[in-house]
Amino acid sequence: MLKRRFIHLFHVLSGREFLQRNTYNSNQFWKRALVIVPWYILGVFYAVLDLLFFGYLFQGIMSVTQRNGRKLSPEELSLFSNLSQELGYLKTVRVYEKSWVARTGAWMTRRKSLGLGLGNTIHFSREIDLENTADLRWFVHEMAHTLQFKYRGLIYIPEALIAQQFSGYSFGGLKTLRQITKLRAFNPEQQAEVFAAVQLSYFETDIRKDIENGNW
């Protein structure tokens, strides 16, 4: 794991990570030029945090500052039963409802509700109900961010923040899923939406193999 993090830091420092991840999402030159400086600074910062295993330490910090964290329920785990190689990792994920982190984020962004996937923790500003279709999709979306963390480290965070301002969440729907075969063709927010669509609809696509192989 430590070796993978050193390799990842090298890719960030060399710019390789930025060029690979933005081939599809920011083809317009001015957009790529605009985001490369903040992306590079934040990318290096988060890559260093990964070397210190901050993503996992964050769970420990949350367990001290907020006591209502919980493991995924059997019902929630069943949503990812097809990802058998991920079940061990998913059992380490902690969910925080009415999280002070999410509530602070909602207040800062002036939203009624907010969900965040930070490292191997998920935060919601309110309680969620998986019987509610919107909440179910929301939950699966945030779970995708924890898998991005597992395979890519914390760098998905600045990428997601940049994507929210430029590329957005929309990936083109099922028509796009029939044409695109690489999960890496999408930004982190689009990937999370693709993940939710694939997991909840069981739509057959080559991207499912990318998800199963951890090619985030």
- Work out the average pLDDT over 97-103: 93
CA atoms within 13 A on the CB side of 173: 1
DSSP assignment string, 109-158: HT-S--EEEETTEEEESS---TTSHHHHHHHHHHHHHHHHHHHHGGGHHH
Per cent of the chain over pLDDT 70 is 88
- pTM for the model stands at 0.84
What is the residue extent of each domain of the chain? 2-212
> Residue 204: its pLDDT value, please?
77
> Residue 175: its pLDDT value, please?
80
Q: Dihedral through CA 95, CA 98, CA 103, CA 105, nearest 10?
A: 10
- Work out the average pLDDT over 78-101: 93
Q: What is the pLDDT of residues 13-36, one digit of tens each?
A: 777 766 666 555 555 555 666 767
> Residue 23: its pLDDT value, please?
53
Quote the mean pLDDT of the chain.
Answer: 84
The better pLDDT of the pair 21, 130 is held by 130
The better pLDDT of the pair 123, 208 is held by 123
Q: What is the pLDDT of residues 143-179, one digit of tens each?
A: 999 999 998 888 888 878 777 777 778 888 878 888 8
